[in-house]
Structure 1
Amino acid sequence: MEHIVSIEELHSRKVVKSGEGSSSHDRPSITREERFRSLTEAAAGARTGVGKEAKIQKVIFLLRDHKHFVKYFEPRVVALGPIHHDNKKYQLGEKYKLILASKFVECSGKSINDLYEAVVNEIKQLRECFEEEVTKKYDDEALAWMLFVDGSAIVQYIFCATNDKFKELNIKFDSVAFAQQDLFLLENQVPYLLLNLLMKLSEKEDELSESIEHFIGSVTYQQTKPQQKQKERSAPSPPESSKSDSPSGKTRGIWPCRKKGEEDPDWQSYRNVQELKSAGIQLKRSKHRSLRNVSFTRRFNFYPGYLWLPPITVDDSTGPKFMNLIAYEMCLDFENDFGISSYISFLDSLIDEVNDVKDMRKAQVLHNFLGSDQEVAELFNEIGTDLVPNIEAYKDVKFKIQSYYDNNWMTWMAQFFHDHFSSPWTILAFLGVLLGLALTAAQTAYAVMASQPGPCEKFCKLKLKKN
């Protein structure tokens, strides 16, 4: 088989020139034809890679090398799949995985050998669900056993979580909570093909399948769709919020070049909730939790403006969940519309300080279980760093807000209502001023009327003239 020269190899080699002491055996020279071939092969590989299934892989270096983000990607108690499998700090997690896997086998009505052999028979297809780098150090036997234990443990964990069965296995609540967070890490995934295979072999297939649907719905606060009897994706499917519903869905977060002097259509001069509030824009809670359910309306198409946002619960799991979804969107082999990145970027544009979070809580669009409002503001400012959103996402909403914000009448009206109707005391003061003006006007009118001669006075003057 002909050796293909990779780009890395081209950089690592040194071209031997006459007069140099390097040995051609140690550092073989490469020809111009080899350089050209490596370039064309790389381009061909990029073309053939388009449209392929996304593979389970490590977090892209752009995120992993960020000093503040590493904490979001590593498991806390349990390693699932091959990426973190050999890390000794997850030994306690290995113990719990064996307990859960044993319970799954017991309830399946099948022997360990039958279940394990089923995984072995599919190991080639299962291996292809991962990026080659993360499985190359495991032979088929080792990888099959790893996936068998992890897959069985995951299915049983979800079943126990939805049916409150952990007490029967003597698994503590804190371990359950941390393990749940670990299930949603990008580097802690196993193929759904594996879970589906194990469920179909169990006598409780329907119960297990329903528990997965219920578990995902409860954790993500979304109603999941029934599983379709179609060919399942071998790798995890993109989250619902990352799927496109428009032709522009594959548009990456790259701003198109503008002609000289052309106005930027994506320009926004407002910075956060406080500035929107000063312009008379109020936050309202949307009925549904879908990240796409963001809109802007006006009362009677005039004043005030309402920014409708889906409710979001912020707790210890919020950062890891969003960061791993963002990392999933940034995988080089995953075509998507950057729905999560766009949503976090939009929230980050609204949240700058504590008062922004406070106003969102008052409007019931944000439930804070993390701690102080300062922590929430810091969280979104942190995870919103260096994101590249889809420029089409929320474009209509941003345009409407900016149009409203640019209208001076709206700003003046907002200032008027803020100065005179923001509290009972300002209202009373305003009414007092109006009453004072009314009394002053009445007094002035009375004085004017009093200075004019009345009908009796005019009659008396006429009488005097006649006499």
Structure 2
Amino acid sequence: METAAVWGPREFQLANLTMEPAVWAPGLPVAIFGGCLQTSVPSSGGGQLVEHAAATQNDPIEKPAQEFEVGLEMKIQNPIHVFEKAAHEFDADIDMMKVKMHRYPSNIGALGEWHTVPMVVAIGPYHHDREHLKQAEKVKHVAAYHCIRDSGHSVQETYDAVVSVAHDARSLYDKDVVAGIGDDDFLPMMFYDACFLVQYMLSCTPTGSEEMDPSLRSFLDSNDRDIVHDVMLLENQLPWRVVETVMRFRPVPLEEFFTCLKRCLQDRKVREKEPFVLDDSYQPPHLLGLLRFYIVGRSNTKRPPKPETESISFSVSAIELAEIGITLAANKTTELIHMGVKKKGPIFAELSLAPLSLDDARASWLVNMAALELCTIPRFEDAEDEESAVCSYLLLLDMFVDREEDVHELRTKHLLQGGGGLTNKEALDFFRSLQGLRLGSCYVRVMEEIENYRVKRRMWIKVHAFVYKNMRTIVMVISAIGALVGIFGTIRSLKVHAH
């Protein structure tokens, strides 16, 4: 017989929650129930440690061998095996690059803590101990309570399911960070953080929001801007397998969730929303990776033939594009992958990109998506276009701006939309700070398309460039000719009247 019990963070009293006979709450003190002390301690992974120790004793790498001294103090045995072990560990890290929980890369310019540090809630271990995030820890317990109560399952069942995958999740984080965190802290962290994310995703959907507890929904709604900023930080992620485990008990209508967030980079919303279809073939590392996947979209563009020229420029300004007859335009679609040069008649062409409503939140989302690409894809040239689309998109926008006037020009072309958000100077500073990004394959493809346009329309480009550069003079000459024609016409008219 199951017994109604009280569980929660210290003084936090929760009612109507079905419990197993043991009355522990993950990561919290043991409760006194029914006049007797009952305990049920979650597995701490000790078996793994013993297993590892045994393996270490039998490992041939560790067998006695010839010793030699390094420096004055350090002694190691059979050094080639030590180096071999380090190489194996390094290879294992490389193989796991696409699924690891990465730290923010140093090759992106220092953009401030806004792009790396959460404002309200820590997800995972990297920022867990920051003082200004402690208040949200209480909210996580509330989220866990409602998550379990609405699921119809017990705490024990849900927690054990998370623990079954959380041990593997530990290996995905930075070893130096998790080395100082015991399982008694790490496993409850995975549980509470996953419950919080599930409840947050539910709050973003019409169905989940209507059914949610009013108090919890009030907190999530009032802090929505900061929370959505936090859950899209590279250093604030939870392995998706852990989140999926909780969603088995408390399902989230992901189609509704991604329909709400897919167009998050634009203020202009389409009333008639296309039905969203999940791609079951993609296995995301975490929530940021999943959002990036759907915001980027999938490409159906074939790579153009290489330009028939001895050299190719990998940078071109907006003015140079205008000189050769290529205009900038905003795509009707909002997926970032759709960028490229298209013919507009026999002479002109158009370079189109997805529009962007740029404010500080969206700037942070794009930077963290680009950081994810840098961390997970070692060589962009060997990967599909989608794998480096965010880096390509940001570098193309950066290529078009050297002055505040250039940012304003992007607004007139509707590439930058909306009247709020970053000022022209702030937008210019943001784009200028991204020059450390690697050249994505989409970026390279666009440069090749521009070069192909140059090669195939050399004569037209020369004519257009002459007209473009001398437009003011040409207009003045045409105006002068018009004036002279008018004068001659007046003189002729006067002569006719005189006769």
1:73 match: 116
2:249 to 176, 197, 201: 201
1:120 aligns with 2:146: no
Q: Do 1:184 and 1:321's aligned partners in 2 also have CA atoms closer than 8 Å?
A: yes
Q: Do 2:354 and 2:415's aligned partners in 1 also have CA atoms closer than 8 Å?
A: yes
Q: Distance in 2 between matches of 1:365 and 1:83?
A: 35
- How big is the alpha-carbon RMSD for the aligned residues of Structure 1 and Structure 2? 3.9
| TM-score of the aligned structures, taking structure 2 as reference length | 0.69
Shift of 1:296: 2.4
| TM-score of the aligned structures, taking structure 1 as reference length | 0.73
1:264 match: 311
2:41 match: none
Amino acid at match of 2:427: V
1:321 aligns with 2:365: yes
Q: Distance in 2 between matches of 1:48 and 1:396?
A: 36
1:410 to 438, 444, 464: 464
The DSSP-based 3-state class of the residue aligned with 2:351 is strand
Amino acid at match of 2:247: M
Bigger shift: 150-159 or 138-147? Answer: 138-147
Quickly say closer, same or farther: Cα 1:419–1:224, change in 2 above 3 A: farther
1:15 to 65, 70, 81: 70
Quickly say closer, same or farther: Cα 1:284–1:94, change in 2 above 3 A: same
Shift of 1:154: 0.9
2:17 match: none
Q: Deviations over 1:350-380 (max 9, x none)?
A: 1121111212111212114324222111111
Shift of 1:314: 0.5
Shift of 1:75: 0.9
2:421 match: 370
Bigger shift: 173-182 or 329-338? Answer: 329-338
Amino acid at match of 2:248: K
Shift of 1:188: 0.6
The DSSP-based 3-state class of the residue aligned with 2:118 is coil
Q: Deviations over 1:267-323 (max 9, x none)?
A: 44x43x2443455543222111222322324443214x4322221110121221122
1:130 match: 173
1:396 aligns with 2:448: yes
The DSSP-based 3-state class of the residue aligned with 1:308 is strand
Matches within 5 A, 1:208-357: 208-219=253-264, 226-227=277-278, 232-233=283-284, 235=286, 237=289, 239-240=292-293, 241=296, 263-268=310-315, 270-271=316-317, 273-277=318-322, 280-303=325-348, 305-331=349-375, 336=383, 337-357=387-407
Q: Deviations over 1:29-78 (max 9, x none)?
A: x58x62x4455555555556665452112223434xx5435441111111
Amino acid at match of 2:128: H
Shift of 1:136: 2.7
Quickly say closer, same or farther: Cα 1:409–1:345, change in 2 above 3 A: same
Q: Do 2:203 and 2:220's aligned partners in 1 also have CA atoms closer than 8 Å?
A: no
1:60 match: 105
Amino acid at match of 2:185: A
Q: Deviations over 1:4-23 (max 9, x none)?
A: 69xxxxxxx9734xxxxx4x
2:128 to 64, 85, 109: 85
Identity among equivalent positions (%) equals: 19
1:381 to 420, 432, 443: 432
Q: Do 2:330 and 2:414's aligned partners in 1 also have CA atoms closer than 8 Å?
A: yes
Shift of 1:176: 1.7
1:177 aligns with 2:225: yes
2:234 match: 186
Q: Distance in 2 between matches of 1:171 and 1:48?
A: 41
* Equivalent pairs, count: 404
Q: Distance in 2 between matches of 1:181 and 1:285?
A: 25
Q: Distance in 1 between matches of 2:424 and 2:280?
A: 45
Bigger shift: 103-112 or 346-355? Answer: 103-112
The DSSP-based 3-state class of the residue aligned with 1:219 is coil
Amino acid at match of 1:212: F
Shift of 1:437: 2.4
The DSSP-based 3-state class of the residue aligned with 1:411 is helix
Amino acid at match of 2:70: V
The DSSP-based 3-state class of the residue aligned with 1:409 is helix
Amino acid at match of 1:319: A
Q: Do 1:282 and 1:307's aligned partners in 2 also have CA atoms closer than 8 Å?
A: yes
The DSSP-based 3-state class of the residue aligned with 1:317 is helix
Quickly say closer, same or farther: Cα 1:147–1:376, change in 2 above 3 A: same
1:97 to 140, 152, 166: 140
Quickly say closer, same or farther: Cα 1:287–1:278, change in 2 above 3 A: same
Q: Do 1:295 and 1:307's aligned partners in 2 also have CA atoms closer than 8 Å?
A: yes
